[in-house]
Structure 1
Amino acid sequence: MVAHGGGSIMTVIEREILIEAPRHVVWQVLTDPAQISQWFSDDARIDLRPGGAGTFVFGPRVNQLDGPIPVDLVVQAAEPPERFAFRWAHPAGSEARVDNSLLVEFTLTAEGEHTRLRLVESGYDQVDWSPQVREDTINDHAKGWDTHLTTLTAYAPQRSASS
């Protein structure tokens, strides 16, 4: 969500969806590299522990560009099956910090046999980007999350049926 008010831009993307799969299945789909590559990035590597490093590779299937784009991440929280968080979008070769990266947080809540997934991506106001780069990045990420969460909503129930 990009909201305008008081002359400033609110810089948080929030989404909430209901997935027709149990929480443990959604957790696996969110955190297992083989599953991540089915709904999010073309390839994924992740050390699933706080401080663990990882990389999402966005290739032609996802980014519509000629070559793959690796995006490094650092796991901030891995609390199965409730919460997964990571920092990303920091400059290549630098450590992810509050002032140079975005924080993505997934929270999973069981609703019967389904899972309510809440996504919050924050930190846009902490990174030293020009106003245009900030706005473009927020818009690109908002569209991207809408697309990826739609794919996730369709994919996770298939994993549930096969497990």
Structure 2
Amino acid sequence: MDDGTLEREIRIDASPEVVFDVVSSPEHLREWWPDAVELPAVPGAAGRIGFGDVAKGEVSWVQFTVVDAVPPRLFSFRWTHEAGRTAAPGNSNLVVFALEPDGDGTLLRMTETGFRERGWDEAKAAGRYRDHVTGWDHYLPRLAVYAAKVGAGA
């Protein structure tokens, strides 16, 4: 966690338009990342995403605020800030999905920053960073598979 920036790059067998919808639309997000989503995908919109058993009402909610939505090139959001607080540098992490055409598919570059800016001690910042590395390493391959299915009309 040298500079506290988490970066991943994946190629997806779907157009940038499809991938943008998959990373920004609540209906699609639920298929590869959180178990529940409550948010409009427009800049400045605040909502939340949830992880857990929705049917049993056992969901852990995480705050989520859209920063930029520029179809089909960029979708970014701040998350993990306290409920009732406006997301800002210092109280939330920033995730950016940058999309670019790559032949008949899309190159997705994901970055997450903000771990060092939270005011946490080194151990807590490193622990949260590791948790997010594990999470993104699990969810991004799911995103690629799901977006390819959507792009193929499946």
TM-score range, shorter chain: over 0.9
2:23 alignment partner, one of 8, 14, 30: 30
CA distance, structure 2, for counterparts of residue 139 and residue 89 of structure 1: 15
1:153 — aligned with what? 144
1:162 equivalenced with 2:153 (yes/no): yes
1:93 — aligned with what? 84
User: Shift of the alpha carbon at 1:81?
Assistant: 0.5
Q: Deviations over 1:6-48 (max 9, x none)?
A: xxx3200000000011111111111111110000000112222
CA distance, structure 2, for counterparts of residue 88 and residue 130 of structure 1: 19
Q: How does 1:101-112 map to 2 (within 5 A)?
A: 101-112=92-103
Q: 1:95 aligns to what SS in structure 2?
A: coil
CA distance, structure 1, for counterparts of residue 70 and residue 107 of structure 2: 16
CA distance, structure 2, for counterparts of residue 122 and residue 97 of structure 1: 12
CA distance, structure 1, for counterparts of residue 118 and residue 96 of structure 2: 17
User: Shift of the alpha carbon at 1:137?
Assistant: 0.4
Q: Normalization by structure 2: what TM-score?
A: 0.93
- Please tell me the residue identity of whatever aligns with 1:95: T
2:135 alignment partner, one of 141, 144, 148: 144
The percent identity for this pair of structures is 36
1:131 alignment partner, one of 109, 116, 122: 122
CA distance, structure 1, for counterparts of residue 135 and residue 38 of structure 2: 20
Aligned residues: 152
Q: Which runs of 5+ in 2 are unaligned?
A: none
Q: Once structures 1 and 2 are overlaid, which stretch shifts more, 45-54 or 22-31?
A: 45-54
- Alignment root-mean-square deviation, CA: 1.5
Q: Which runs of 5+ in 1 are unaligned?
A: 3-8
- Give 4+ residue runs of structure 1 displaced > 4 Å after superposition: none
CA distance, structure 1, for counterparts of residue 28 and residue 7 of structure 2: 22
Q: 1:68 aligns to what SS in structure 2?
A: strand
- Please tell me the residue identity of whatever aligns with 1:54: G
2:46 — aligned with what? 53
2:5 alignment partner, one of 7, 12, 18: 12
Larger relative contact order (C-alpha < 8 A, sep ≥ 6)?
A: 2
